[in-house]
Amino acid sequence: FQLGGTEEEVRDRELLLKELKEKQATYELAKAKFEKVDESYKAIQKEHKDLVSKASEMQKEIHEAQKAHRQFEMQIKQLKLHKDRDEDLKSILEDMKEDLALLKEE
């Protein structure tokens, strides 16, 4: 394989080689920029995934806390009902004691 040729062919080859080197340099720069952007994108994507996971976990914790709160409120209502019933029973017992005392006096 011989690279001889006319002066014009040699200049054309040198020009083509120069263009090739410039395009290769441009390609290398673009490739480096792409890799940097790709790396950044992947980091952001991972961070997004982590945040979604955290949000899901927090939502689950909030749901559990709300459930516990509702159960606690139900227990409070039940205790109030028992207290009211106990007070009603005490009142009835007092009334019966008064009736018994009146019956004993008669």
DSSP 3-state of 6: coil
Q: Identify the band that residue 49 occupies on the pLDDT scale cut at 50, 70 and 90.
A: very high
Q: In the chain, pLDDT over 90 holds for what percent of residues?
A: 85
Q: In the prediction, which pLDDT does 1 show?
A: 46
Structure-token pair, residue 16: 């083509």
**Planar angle of CA 49, 54, 58, nearest 5 degrees:** 150
* Cα(19)–Cα(79) distance, integer angstroms: 88
Q: In the prediction, which pLDDT does 4 show?
A: 59
